[in-house]
Amino acid sequence: MSEIRRRDPRREWIARNRLHPEHASVLAALDGIEGGGATSEWLGPSGVIRKNPRAVGFIGPSGIKRIDRSGLQSGSQPTVSAMAVSGDSRRAVNIAEPAFLVAVVPDLIGGRLSAHDKDMLGLARRLADVDVGRPGAVVAILFCEHKEEALGEVGIDKVLHFNEAIYAGFAPEVRLAALTTVERELAPRYWLFPDSPLGGADLGRRLALRLNERPATGVWQIEADNEALLGWRCTARGAAGSLDIQRPLPRFVLALAECAEPVDETRHAAERLSIAGVTPTTLSRIEDLGQVAVDPAGVALAEAEFILSGGNGVKNWDAFHHAAKVLGATEGASRVAVDDGFMTRDRQVGATGTWVTARVYLAVGISGAIQHLQGIQRCDKVVAINLDPGCDMIKRADLAVIGDSAEILAALVGMVEQRRGGQRDAA
Amino acid sequence: MQPEQQGLEVAVLVSVGRHPITGRARRAEQDARGVELALTLASELPGTRINVLHAGQQDINSEVALRGYLGMGLNSLTLLEQPEGSDAIAALAAYLTKALPPLVLTGTRAECGEGSGLLPYALAERLGWPLVNGLAAVETIENGVVTLLQALPRGQRRRLKVRLPAIVSVDEAGPVARQSAFGPARRAKFIVTSAIHEPDRELTQWHLAPARKRPKRLKIVKAASARDRFKAAASKAGGKSGQVLSDVTPEQGAVAILKLLEEEDVLR
């Protein structure tokens, strides 16, 4: 149309102001107009990356050139593409022809891989990737339903999923039968189990002895060793944690937490696998009659699974105790509630009280002093009910509801009671 | 109780423990809990005979430790004598196949030696008996079926029905062992029988050393730019925040919380 380049000062101002709500869209539009402009980085004729430092950055409001290396703000093309790459820079790995297999049986507590499971998978990757040219594949053997979506991101090449109802609960004999079939059909070079009281320690020992092998238990370190039969040497804890045993790595390994770094640089295929010949036997000498209702008040606070914790924001303590009873939660308290005499000292959560490990921590009217947040560091899910939207507990929480704690708790109790009642009717 | 249950025999496998600080021989914590369970069972079911078994050498240290169990209220202990460094599994399996006690209680793992916790599993495999770990309490024994409570992590309990004969291992969730009395411990007798000697050759080839402290895991920050690394080092951890519901009615908030509780499966 015309040779004159039109400027829009307002748009330029928005492009400089990274806090402006339209910043991103304006930036993209400006990019389109300029048509890429000068590239700041390209591959030279001799294969060397060349850079033009003058093309990097933008002119700030005071007319000085600014370079923002965070990648958050810049109109130039290269940084945007770099951002896209950093979004998923993990290398995709697909092992089509594995040289051997490494079987891992994670605990899958509550359907999720625990940190211990991820460490085990990291260890499995170390064993599988010993020879870069001929890598092995990691086979994860999962029992029952799970909630993990990205199994490939923790280093699993193949997944073997036993999803029948007979594997649920305490069914060591049925699980053992399935694993012996896996051993017969796939013959993995290594079997890895987490040495945890949640199931891995039990199942791993059963399988190893069924197959007449002596496992290494409590392994916390492995090193390459050419003299050993399988090429590895391991260090294991023995004698109630007072001995370090160095031995050649056997086929069966029960490893402690933090035995290896979890996988984070690669993405694996996590391809589904199925094997024939698994005949689930229902004939078992051990019958699981299900979990027994345990009085939640009797469970030690440090190992409780679900804690309802009250703080300064709780005014009606009778309703709070009732809610804990209905929800089946162990009661906890912040320091203020204990100091004011509403709860006993042994219920205090935090640096001076108990360090809790609950899967779900429901904090009612607790603003989240740093000592309290230290105490709940190891909780998986934190739910906060609070009036103050700016408090530290809200920042920590996975789900925060802003509102009056008494009303919300009453509504929650009502819903749970209704749900229980409905279930009873249905039954 | 019915007459057929009168003669229930319980074998308790005990080992020589090691005090974690002084290193002295003592009764092992978990095995003592096993003896405690057996004694409770004997007081509930009259006529129960408790046979305490130990496979190992007889010397002054082990005698002090084993008398610790006897002082809990037992008259005798069967000692399967073996020289040092021999495998206890073979001796115990041979003895149990002959004696055939319906219920065998044992600790989960030993406090000295390899301490791998394999013994109950190895015995169960050799004898072909079912095995249950983490016993918290025995509820009833009827018609050759024992109903027991298994301890799960986080203070939970599971009820199991196991057909006898069975091996049941006890860990820290079992009842605390009663105090050992000196006089009864001195008066109780050892019944010594010699057992098979099968040296544990593999164990002698391994290198044993006092446990060294495990290295603490470092927080490794894999960042492309210096700015990201600096931010990771300088900023407070756990910056990501979850879902915040503001301006909602109490019912909507409660629905959201209930949904999370159901997803996590903590409502029972």
Least-confidence region, from A74-78, A186-190, B98-102: A74-78
**Span B27-65, pLDDT tens digits:** 999 999 999 999 999 998 888 889 999 998 888 888 889
Q: Say whether residue B152 is in contact with chain A using an 8 A CB cutoff.
A: yes
| pLDDT band with cut points at 50, 70 and 90 for residue A153 | confident
Q: Are B26 and B35 contacting, i.e. CB atoms less than 8 angstroms apart?
A: no
- Model pLDDT, residue A368: 87
Residue A229 has pLDDT above 60, yes or no: yes
- Among partner residues B110, B160, B206, which is closest to A286 by beta-carbon distance? B160
What are all long-range contacts of A27-31, with beta carbons under 8 Å and residues at least 24 apart? A27/A73, A27/A75, A30/A75, A31/A75, A31/A77, A31/A80
Q: Which 87-146 residues of chain B touch chain A by CB within 8 A?
A: 109-118, 121-122, 124-125, 130-134
The b/e string for A89-108 (b: 16+ C-beta within 10 A; e otherwise) is: eeeebebeebebbbbbbbbb
- Model pLDDT, residue B240: 59
The conformation of residue A339, written as its DSSP 8-state character, comes to H
- Model pLDDT, residue B12: 94
The b/e string for B42-53 (b: 16+ C-beta within 10 A; e otherwise) is: beebeebebbbb
- Model pLDDT, residue B267: 81
Give the separation between CA B100 and CA B77, rounded to whole angstroms.
17
Residues of A in contact with B125 (CB under 8 A): 206, 209-210
Q: Which 178-217 residues of chain B touch chain A by CB within 8 A?
A: 202, 205-212, 214, 217
Domains and CATH numbers, chain A: 9-87 (no CATH), 93-273 (3.40.50.620), 296-426 (3.40.50.1220)
In total, the C-beta contacts within 8 angstroms joining chain A to chain B are 238
Structure tokens of A193?
Answer: 């189990």
- Among partner residues A243, A286, A395, which is closest to B162 by beta-carbon distance? A286
Asked if A396's CB is within 8 angstroms of B241's CB, the reply is yes
Asked if B156's CB is within 8 angstroms of A305's CB, the reply is yes
pLDDT: which is higher, A294 or B121: B121
Residues of A in contact with B264 (CB under 8 A): 110, 359-360, 380-381
The b/e string for A237-276 (b: 16+ C-beta within 10 A; e otherwise) is: bbbbeebbbebbbbbbbbbbbbbbbbbeeebbbbeebeee
Residue A79 has pLDDT above 80, yes or no: no
Asked if A240's CB is within 8 angstroms of B115's CB, the reply is yes
CA nearest neighbour of B25 among B61, B50, B59: B61
| pLDDT band with cut points at 50, 70 and 90 for residue A82 | very low
Residue A145 has pLDDT above 70, yes or no: yes
Minimal-distance CA residue of chain B relative to A396: B241
Domains and CATH numbers, chain B: 3-202 (3.40.50.620)
| pLDDT band with cut points at 50, 70 and 90 for residue A73 | low
Residue A99 has pLDDT above 80, yes or no: yes
**Span A174-209, pLDDT tens digits:** 888 889 888 888 889 999 999 888 788 889 999 999
Residues of A in contact with B18 (CB under 8 A): 239-240, 242
Q: Say whether residue B84 is in contact with chain A using an 8 A CB cutoff.
A: no
Asked if A328's CB is within 8 angstroms of B268's CB, the reply is yes
What residue has token string 């869209």?
A25
Least-confidence region, from A401-410, B71-80, B218-227: B218-227
Residue B219 has pLDDT above 80, yes or no: no
Structure tokens of A123?
Answer: 């260890």
Instruction: Compute how many other C-beta atoms are within 10 angstroms of the C-beta atom of residue A126.
Output: 18
pLDDT: which is higher, A339 or A49: A339
- Among partner residues B130, B205, B253, which is closest to A286 by beta-carbon distance? B130
Minimal-distance CA residue of chain B relative to A220: B214
Least-confidence region, from A76-90, A173-187, A313-327: A76-90
Chain A interface, mutation test: which of B216, B228, B244, most A Cβ atoms within 10 Å? B244
Give the separation between CA B95 and CA B9, rounded to whole angstroms.
14
- Main-chain phi, psi angles of B222, to 5 degrees: -100, 95
Helix H or strand E encompassing B136:
strand B135-142
Residues of A in contact with B225 (CB under 8 A): 69-71
- Among partner residues A218, A304, A397, which is closest to B154 by beta-carbon distance? A304
The b/e string for A284-306 (b: 16+ C-beta within 10 A; e otherwise) is: bbbebeeeeebebeebebbebbb
Chain A interface, mutation test: which of B108, B154, B162, most A Cβ atoms within 10 Å? B154
Cis peptide bond upstream of B165, omega within 30: yes
Residue B69 has pLDDT above 90, yes or no: yes
- Model pLDDT, residue B187: 92
Structure tokens of A59?
Answer: 């002119």
Residues of A in contact with B227 (CB under 8 A): 69-70
| pLDDT band with cut points at 50, 70 and 90 for residue A86 | very low
Q: Are A254 and A193 contacting, i.e. CB atoms less than 8 angstroms apart?
A: yes
**Span A323-359, pLDDT tens digits:** 998 888 999 999 999 999 999 998 999 988 888 888 8
**Span A361-401, pLDDT tens digits:** 999 999 888 899 988 888 888 999 999 888 888 888 889 99
Asked if A243's CB is within 8 angstroms of B115's CB, the reply is yes
- Among partner residues B155, B210, B242, which is closest to A399 by beta-carbon distance? B242
Minimal-distance CA residue of chain B relative to A388: B246
Residues of B in contact with A359 (CB under 8 A): 264, 266
Q: What's the whole-number average pLDDT of chain A? A: 83
Residue B14 has pLDDT above 90, yes or no: yes
